[in-house]
Structure 1
Amino acid sequence: MENAEMFWNASQDELKQGYIEDENQYICLLCGTAVQKGIVYPEDGVLYEAKRYMRIHIETAHSSVFEYLIDLDKKLTGLTDHQNRLLRLFYQGKNDAEVQEETGIGSASTIRNHRFVLKEKERQAKLFLAMMELLKDKDQHAPAFVPLHHKARMVDDRYNVTKDEETAILKRYFRNDSMDALKTFPPKEKQRLIILQQLTNHFDNDRKYEEKEINTILAAVYDDHVLLRRYLIEYGFLDRKPDGSQYWLKK
């Protein structure tokens, strides 16, 4: 789950643009796709340098960074359903009167009040981020937590897992260091989370799998592949077509 760690460690500017840059490549924070520097990429008959091509990738694969972020679980964004809907309409460029007409909420002045509340939330978030950054220099006892999968479902205390706990869980439930053979599927939610997260390493980010392929991959890890498949979907690591004909890693 390296992409989850990159996502949560990204700066505000990196998160806004949707990708990070290192010496050799640009990496999409939303799905992990990497674009190598120094290579020209074709798209619809036009050649693009790597940085521009990464922006095109985000537009074509994710619509926009805003669309991707606002579709995340509300426990990750901190938005209510009502605030989520308002932000979507504001992003579409609608004015207060248009938003009021579409939502049927109060009057145009009511919408302006909602805008004020959202700006207040933004101010609070900036101060909180500044305090947390300053805290990093002083808090020597803060544990390193396992990064949260940003397509996670049912975000709650089960995700309160440190890196040390992760190492112990993996060692306890896998037969060897290669993590390719599961002894048993754990009973506790936190333990299941770590096991399922590890299992995602058996799949490619940009590939769609038939159900038979998914079953074969999981059966090589554990006898009850149906159980593993069900929990991978339940926890938001895998997605599938309604008829179950194709599966893929959620990005």
Structure 2
Amino acid sequence: MGVSDIFWKASLEEMKRGYIQEAEFYICLICGKKIEKGLIYPMDGVLYEAEKYAQVHIEHAHGSVFEHLIGLDKKLTGLTEHQNQLLRLFFQGRSDKEVQEEMNIGSTSTIRHHRFALKEKERQAKIFLTLMELLKEKDQYAPAFVPPHKTAKMVDDRYDITKEEQEEVIKRFISEGPQIVLKKFPPKEKQRLILLREITKILDHDHIYNETEINQILAEIYDDYVLIRRYLIEYGFLDRKSDGSEYWLKGN
């Protein structure tokens, strides 16, 4: 199961703390790092038990869960850029006057109105989530959608993918066998997206690849490995240094 699958299946409480608990591991919802239970982890001269280390990992590697979530694409958060900026400043503990001066809008009463509007959005979200939970019990015809990876740079109709469509594309374009080998790289963006998701499953979240390493891995999948590498970056699966010397899998 990929990081995005784990992320979207997490409960609200799990999302708030930034990790889930499984039988043998704590798993970071941001990057997928697994922290084995029962072990002691050192960091900066301090020893941590596993769950505490999961919290420390999030703080050191990602800043905070809030910072990660607020940085996601607006199609995923549902926030306008204006709302995003307000939430960032509120999270920093700024007063209404400080927020008003920072954003150079209206007056302190304007900021209070924005706070009220955000609380209204929260109330609406609770009702909507409850409605969707109730709907699951009745809507027997609802297709099973594949959730978008949370590092997606732009979410649009290309991400309207059902699990049935995903299985069909994988069967059509990936050769049977233990290794992922593409028969061809299709012209349709939705099909490409499905295949790119599959390719990321063979990459290690904890490893930073040099250019030779990533090229060798992708060349075993498809002859035009440069094309695949470019698409992995464009779709937000892969990141790299500006000089192309290092590549790593984003927390998707």
Q: Which bin holds the TM-score, normalised by the shorter protein?
A: over 0.9
CA shift, 1:41, in A, is 1.1
What's the offset of the Cα at 1:179?
4.6
Q: Secondary structure at the match of 1:47?
A: strand
Q: Distance in 1 between matches of 2:224 and 2:177?
A: 21
Q: Give 1:1-251 correspondences, 5 Å limit.
A: 2-251=2-251
Q: Distance in 2 between matches of 1:137 and 1:6?
A: 22
Alpha-carbon separation, structure 2, partners of 1:249 and 1:161: 22
SS of the residue 2:47 aligns to? strand
Identify if the C-alpha distance between structure 1 residues 177 and 125 changes in structure 2 by more than 3 Å, giving closer, same or farther.
Answer: farther
**Residues in 2 aligned to 1:179 and 1:102: alpha-carbon distance in whole angstroms:** 53
CA distance in 1, matches of 2:46, 2:119: 40
Instruction: Tell me which amino acid in the other structure corresponds to 2:106.
Output: G
What is the distance in 2 between the residues matched to 1:113 and 1:63?
29
Letter in 2 for 1:136: K
Amino acid at match of 1:171: K
Q: State the 1:178 CA deviation.
A: 2.9
Structure 1 residue ranges, 4+ long, deviating more than 6 angstroms after superposition: none
CA distance in 2, matches of 1:36, 1:213: 27
- SS of the residue corresponding to residue 153 of structure 1 reads coil
The one-letter code matched in structure 2 to 1:230 is: R
Of 117-126 and 137-146, the range deviating more from structure 2: 137-146
1:177 deviation in Å? 3.9
CA contact (8 A) 1:20 1:29 kept: yes
Instruction: Give the conservation status (yes or no) of the 8 Å contact 2:24–2:36.
Output: yes
The TM-score normalised by the length of structure 1 is 0.97
Q: Give yes or no for contact 2:20–2:29 (8 Å, CA) kept in 1.
A: yes
Unaligned residue ranges in structure 2 (runs of 5+):
none
Q: 1:73 to 1:241 in 2, by over 3 A?
A: same
Structure 2 counterpart SS, 1:202: coil
Where does structure 1 lack aligned partners over 5 or more consecutive residues? none
One-letter amino acid of the counterpart of residue 15, structure 2: L
The one-letter amino acid of 2:50's match is A
- Counterparts of 1:157 and 1:120, CA distance in 2: 28
| CA–CA distance in structure 1, aligned partners of residues 84 and 242 of structure 2 | 26
SS, match of residue 227 in structure 2: helix
The alpha-carbon distance between structure 1 residues 168 and 177, as it changes in their structure 2 partners (threshold 3 A), is farther
The sequence identity of aligned pairs, in percent, is 64
What is the aligned residue count? 251
Q: Is the CA contact (8 Å cut-off) linking 2:5 and 2:147 kept in structure 1?
A: yes
Structure-1 separation of matches of 2:119 and 2:169: 42
TM-score with structure 2 setting the length: 0.97
Conserved? CA contact 1:75–1:155, under 8 Å: yes
Please say if residues 2 and 201 of structure 2, whose CA atoms lie closer than 8 Å, have aligned partners that are also in contact. no
Report the AA paired with residue 7 of structure 1. F
The letter of the residue matching 2:191 is: Q
RMSD across aligned C-alpha pairs, in angstroms?
A: 1.0
